Every structure is written in C-alpha cells, then in structure tokens.
Structure 1
C-alpha cells in the first residue's frame, strides 16, 4: 500500500497520514457483491474518474482530469442493459441513477473501477466515493465522506491512488 491509497479502516478512511470519518453500505463490507445488496465491495479499486457539479463546486483546485456533470448525465444500474455500470445520457429507457441529484451527495463523485471496465451483469454498479447524507446514514454500497473531507481528498489524489476496502 502507498500513502496515496485511500484505506478503509474501522476508524474511517486513511489517506496521506490523515483519518476521515466515513460511511459504508448498509450491509457493510461484502466479498460477494451483487446489484442492490447494499454492500461495499471488498478489494483494491482504482479511482478511474472524478465528476463534479459545476453549478455547486468550483473547478479550481480539482485535478485536470475531473469532468463536469451535465444535466441529463445518468449512471446505468440495469444488469440487462448493454451499458450496465457506465455513464449514459437521458433520455434513457433502462434503470439508472441521476447524477444531477437535488441533494448534495453527487456534487463531487470519485468513480471506482468496481465491475466497471468489463462489467458482469448483476455484480454491482455505481460504487462511488461521494458526500455522505449524514455521518450515521449508510450508503447503498458506496463510501460516503463529509463534503470538506471529500474535497480535500480530491485535491490530493494522484493517478496511482486506489481505494482499499478490506
């Protein structure tokens, strides 16, 4: 493990010799992830993308590989869809998550490579690192962080950074 890895521990996420409180999926950490199970998948996951809401977060300070979330951006969570676990655009006939949410959870999103590059239907989708709803509210399988902590982490990520969940 490298200091630039985000390591999930019982005390939160460790990154660059700091600890940040986090929330996990409602089913905890799982080693047999399935779509809709509420589990956070165990393993070492690359950070393959960063999305942000330009109407809510300033571009300055974010890495140059961060991409804006546009109206109509969605994430497919339909295991029967060819574009399962990929970003897609509205209108979209299959099951999906809207990336332009009314709440602030997806104002900044780090995309992991969980079941992403060559997705297996039903193995789980949209495993992100995003802003938590509250420190005591579990996610649907993602890692949730306080907004200020997520912004700090995003500004200090390197291309080699990984999310380690064990």
Structure 2
C-alpha cells in the first residue's frame, strides 16, 4: 500500500485473487492485510481466456475506472474514477463488432450487457483492463470486479464480492491498481 497525494489515505498497488481451497468457482481476494471471499467464473480460472468460456483470466489486470448505481448505493470515498450508471449504458460483447469490449449507448442491436441491471450485480462495477486497452477479438469481454449473487454463485468470468466487502476495498483502490489472478 502507498500514500495518496493527499497523504491521508493509503491505496493498494496490487490485489491478489487466489483460488479458495477445493472450490473451482470461489476465491480469496487479498488487499493488504484484508482477505475476503469472492466468486469467480463458472469454469474457474484459465490462462487461455475466450469469449463466453465462463473462465476468469489468470493474469495481471489494471483497474481502469468504475461504475455505480447512484439510485441504489452511495458512492464511498475512492481515488478510482467512478461514473454513475445511466439507463442507456451498455457494454458490447459481440467479438465481430468494432465496439467489442467497449462501453456503448442504447439503442444498440449487437450483443451487449446492460450496466443498469435489476439484480444489483453492477451496483458497483469496476472495469479491469482485460482486453480493453489492447483488444483482440474473442479474447473475452466485460471482465469486471463487481458484487456477488446470493450464495456466492459463480460469475461469467468476473470477480465478485459482497457489498460490505466492496465498501471496505473501494477506498483502497485507484486507477492502475493491479488485480493479480493466480
């Protein structure tokens, strides 16, 4: 962890995501001395991530920015750039589209995910630099750090924690914090 410019708050330079013993779709997220349980992809982890495979990529990914549902959660203090989710915000997940793995606006016909979800998973949604800044078709899209489903159900390839744990982690994050999935 390191001091921010203001010197008052400390941020994590690296977050480590390790598999939970004996559970392919569960993990432990370590942020400095804090370790919390998480859900990962329904197919576990993979070093060869492909679109739709349900795996969480084994990689070092930088945090880019985040989204939040201001009508459901209050933004807590964080050095990570955050944007309020609007009803027209979507994320393209169609590999042959020029907007693949990018934020797009409705109306948008190609395959996409809605960021303003009714199930609350993206009430806080952090964008990881998996195939974002340097895109390759079919390498996977919409790899986020977001909130869990009840019972820590597996994700489609993302990393997910409870709202309470996200509230503890978010103040420690900044743009460029590395998420290391091992």
TM-score range, shorter chain: over 0.9
Q: Please, what TM-score do these two structures have when normalized by structure 1?
A: 0.94
Structure 2's unaligned 5+ residue stretches are 3-11, 21-27
Q: State how many pairs are aligned.
A: 166
Q: Whose Rg is larger? A: 2
Alignment match, 2:114: 98
Alignment match, 1:39: 55
Deviation at 1:158, TM superposition (A): 2.7
- The answer as to whether partners of 2:40 and 2:159 remain within 8 angstroms in 1 is yes
Structure 1's unaligned 5+ residue stretches are none
Cα distance between partner residues in 2 of 1:133 and 1:64 = 24
- The answer as to whether partners of 2:41 and 2:159 remain within 8 angstroms in 1 is yes
- The answer as to whether partners of 2:69 and 2:84 remain within 8 angstroms in 1 is yes
- The answer as to whether partners of 1:21 and 1:135 remain within 8 angstroms in 2 is no
- Higher mean alpha-carbon deviation, 6-15 vs 124-133, is at 6-15
Alignment match, 1:7: 16
Cα distance between partner residues in 1 of 2:140 and 2:34 = 29
Equivalent residues in 2 for 1:1-166 (5 A)? Answer: 3-11=12-20, 12-63=28-79, 65-166=81-182
Distance 1:136 1:108, change over 3 A: closer
Deviation at 1:31, TM superposition (A): 0.5
Cα distance between partner residues in 2 of 1:64 and 1:157 = 6
1:52-88, CA deviations, whole angstroms, 9 ceiling, x for partnerless residues? 0111111342446211111110000000110000010
Q: Which has the higher strand share?
A: 2
**Aligned-pair Cα RMSD in Å:** 1.7
Q: Please, what TM-score do these two structures have when normalized by structure 2?
A: 0.86
- The answer as to whether partners of 1:13 and 1:19 remain within 8 angstroms in 2 is yes
